[in-house]
C-alpha cells in the first residue's frame, strides 16, 4: 500500500494533468511490491502454479495468499507499443494547424466583408487566383495528379466547378433572407459551434477522400452550414454572399486535397514554412479586428503544433499495455478451409 501511496503522491503532484495516461500506474507499483515480497521465498524453488496439490500435504504449508517470486512472471508490458518520435508527431500535427488557421481566416474574411473592409469582388478575385495556384501546385507536387490526368477528367472537373459556382451564384440572393427572423447573436453562436464541430470531426488523415468516413462527411456538412449561416448575415450586395460561399467551398472542400499534395511534395522544412506562413496570414487577417484575438490565434496554433506533440511524446512513458496468460486466446485459422 505504501508503494501505491508514494507513487501517487509523487506522480499526482508532478503530473496531475497527465493522469489520464497513467491509468495503469498502480499496477506497476503492485508488480514492484510483489517482487519485494517474493525475496522471502527465493529458497522455495518448488512452488509452481498447481491447484491440484493439497495444501495440507504441501511440504511448506504455504498459506493460500502466498505470493511467490514467480507471481506475474508472465506479465508482458507494451509488447505492441510503438515509440513516437517528436519530429514526426510535430509534422503530422501541422495538418491540424492548417485546418485551424484556415478556419480562422475564413471567419476573419466574413468579419471584413461585413464591415466592408474588403469587397466581395476582391474576395472573388483572390479565390480565383488561389484556385489556379492550388491546381498548379497539385500538379507540380503530387505526381498522382499528373498521372491521373485525362482530358475527360479535366472536363468533368470543370463541369463540376461550373455547377457548384453557378449554384452558389443563384442561391446567394436566397441566402440573404435566410436568417432574417433570427438574431445575429444566435447565428454567430451557431456558426462558432458548427466550426468547432467541423474542426473536431474533420478527417485529418484521410486516404481516399475527406468525406469517406461518416465523421468526415458530418464535418464538411457542419462547415458548409456555418458558411451559409454567415453568408446570410451579409445583407448588402449579393456578390458578398456569393464570394463568401465560394471561398468556403475552396477552404473546406478543396483545400484538404491541396494540403495533402503539399505535404507529399514539399520537404519537411518547406512544409513547416507553409504552415508558419498560414498561421501568420491568419493572424494578420484577424489583427484589424482585435490584436489580442490575433495573438490568441497564434497561441492556439503554437499549442496544437508544438506543445501538444511534445506533451504526447512525454506521456508515452506512462503507456502500460498489459498482456499475460489471462488474455483471451486469438483464433489461429491460417490454412483452414
Partner 1 sequence: MPSPPPPSPCPPPFGAHAHAPKGTVLMVTDFFFPNTGGVEQHVYHLSQCLMEAGYRLVVLTHAYTPSTTTTSLKIGARDGGAHLPGRSNTTRGGVRYLTNGLKVYYIPKRAFYKQNVFPTLFASFRLIRTILVRERVDVVHCHQAFSVLAHEATLCARTLAMPVVFTDHSLFGFSDTSSILTNKLLKFTLCDASAVICVSHTSKENTVLRACCKPTSVFVVPNAVDATRFTPPASNEPAQEGIITVVVVSRLVYRKGADLLRYVIPIVCARHARVRFIIAGDGDKRPSLEQAVRAHGLEGRVTFTGALEHSAVMKVMRSGTVFLNCSLTEAFCMAIVEAAACGLVVVSTDVGGVREVLPPPLLTLSASTHPESIADALTAAMARVHDLETGEYVGHRVPRLSKQELHEFVRQSYDWRHVASRTEVVYAKACRQASSSDLLERLQRYALCGPVAGPIFACVAVVAHMYACFLEWCIPACSIEAARTYAPTTTTVS
Contact flag: residue 150 with partner 1 (CB under 8 A): no
Contact flag: residue 33 with partner 1 (CB under 8 A): yes
Contact flag: residue 330 with partner 1 (CB under 8 A): yes
Contact flag: residue 10 with partner 1 (CB under 8 A): no
Rounded CA separation 307/302 (Å): 7
Q: Are 235 and 94 spatial neighbours (Cβ–Cβ below 8 Å)?
A: no
* Complex with partner 1: residue 23 or 268, whichever CB lies closer: 23
Grid cell of 37 as nine digits: 515480497
Sign of CA dihedral 265, 249, 194, 285: positive
Contacts by 217-220 with C-beta closer than 8 Å and gap 24+?
220/252, 220/253
* Complex with partner 1: residue 65 or 267, whichever CB lies closer: 65
Q: Which of 41, 44, 69, 72 binds partner 1 (CB under 8 A)?
A: 72
Contact flag: residue 39 with partner 1 (CB under 8 A): no
Residue 50 phi/psi, 5-degree rounding, is -140, 115
Contacts by 137-141 with C-beta closer than 8 Å and gap 24+?
137/258, 137/261, 137/262, 137/265, 138/257, 138/258, 138/261, 140/265, 141/261, 141/262, 141/264, 141/265, 141/266
**Nearest approach, Cβ of 308 to partner 1 (angstroms)?**
21
* Complex with partner 1: residue 54 or 152, whichever CB lies closer: 54
**Nearest approach, Cβ of 196 to partner 1 (angstroms)?**
24
Contact flag: residue 14 with partner 1 (CB under 8 A): no
Contact flag: residue 304 with partner 1 (CB under 8 A): no
Contact flag: residue 59 with partner 1 (CB under 8 A): no
Angle, helix 291-302 to helix 268-286, in steps of 10 degrees: 160
Contact flag: residue 27 with partner 1 (CB under 8 A): yes
Which alpha helices (H) appear in the chain, and where do they start and end? 2-14, 25-38, 86-114, 120-141, 143-147, 151-175, 184-201, 214-231, 238-248, 255-265, 268-286, 291-302, 308-314
| Stretch of residues binding partner 1 (CB under 8 A), selected from 50-58, 99-107, 260-268, 304-312 | 50-58
Contact flag: residue 208 with partner 1 (CB under 8 A): no
| Stretch of residues binding partner 1 (CB under 8 A), selected from 55-63, 166-174, 249-257, 265-273 | 55-63
Q: Which of 59, 82, 151, 326 binds partner 1 (CB under 8 A)?
A: 326
Grid cell of 136 as nine digits: 498548379
Contact flag: residue 53 with partner 1 (CB under 8 A): yes
Positions touching partner 1 (CB under 8 A) are 1, 4-5, 8, 12, 16, 19, 23-24, 26-27, 29-30, 33-34, 37, 49-56, 63-65, 67, 71-72, 74-75, 321-322, 324-336
Amino acid at each position: 500500500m505504501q508503494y501505491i501511496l508514494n507513487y501517487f503522491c509523487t506522480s499526482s503532484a508532478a503530473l496531475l494533468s497527465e493522469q489520464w495516461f497513467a491509468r495503469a500506474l498502480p499496477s506497476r507499483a503492485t508488480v514492484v511490491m510483489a517482487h519485494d515480497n517474493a525475496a522471502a521465498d527465493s529458497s522455495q524453488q518448488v512452488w509452481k502454479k498447481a491447484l491440484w496439490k493439497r495444501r495440507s500435504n504441501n511440504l511448506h504449508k504455504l498459506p493460500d495468499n502466498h505470493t511467490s517470486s514467480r507471481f506475474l512472471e508472465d506479465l508482458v508490458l507494451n509488447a505492441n507499443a510503438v515509440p513516437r518520435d517528436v519530429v514526426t508527431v510535430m509534422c503530422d500535427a501541422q495538418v491540424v494547424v492548417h485546418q485551424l488557421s484556415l478556419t480562422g481566416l475564413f471567419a476573419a474574411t466574413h468579419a471584413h466583408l461585413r464591415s466592408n473592409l474588403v469587397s466581395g469582388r476582391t474576395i472573388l478575385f483572390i479565390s480565383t487566383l488561389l484556385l489556379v495556384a492550388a491546381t498548379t501546385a497539385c500538379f507540380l507536387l503530387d505526381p498522382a495528379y499528373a498521372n491521373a490526368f485525362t482530358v475527360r477528367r479535366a472536363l468533368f472537373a470543370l463541369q463540376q466547378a461550373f455547377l457548384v459556382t453557378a449554384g452558389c451564384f443563384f442561391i446567394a440572393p436566397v441566402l440573404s433572407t435566410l436568417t432574417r427572423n433570427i438574431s445575429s447573436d444566435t447565428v454567430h453562436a451557431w456558426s462558432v459551434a458548427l466550426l468547432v464541430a467541423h474542426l473536431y470531426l474533420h478527417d485529418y488523415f484521410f486516404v481516399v477522400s475527406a468525406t469517406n468516413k461518416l465523421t468526415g462527411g458530418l464535418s464538411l456538412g457542419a462547415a458548409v452550414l456555418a458558411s451559409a449561416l454567415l453568408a446570410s448575415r451579409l445583407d448588402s450586395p449579393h456578390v458578398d454572399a456569393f464570394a463568401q460561399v465560394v471561398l468556403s467551398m475552396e477552404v473546406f472542400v478543396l483545400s484538404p486535397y491541396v494540403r495533402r499534395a503539399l505535404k507529399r511534395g514539399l520537404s519537411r522544412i518547406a512544409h513547416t514554412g507553409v504552415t508558419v506562413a498560414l498561421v501568420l496570414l491568419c493572424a494578420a487577417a484577424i489583427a484589424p479586428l482585435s490584436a489580442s484575438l490575433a495573438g490568441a490565434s497564434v497561441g492556439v496554433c503554437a499549442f496544437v503544433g508544438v506543445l501538444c506533440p511534445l506533451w504526447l511524446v512525454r506521456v508515452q512513458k506512462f503507456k502500460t499495455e498489459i498482456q499475460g496468460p489471462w488474455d483471451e486466446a486469438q483464433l489461429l485459422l491460417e490454412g483452414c478451409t
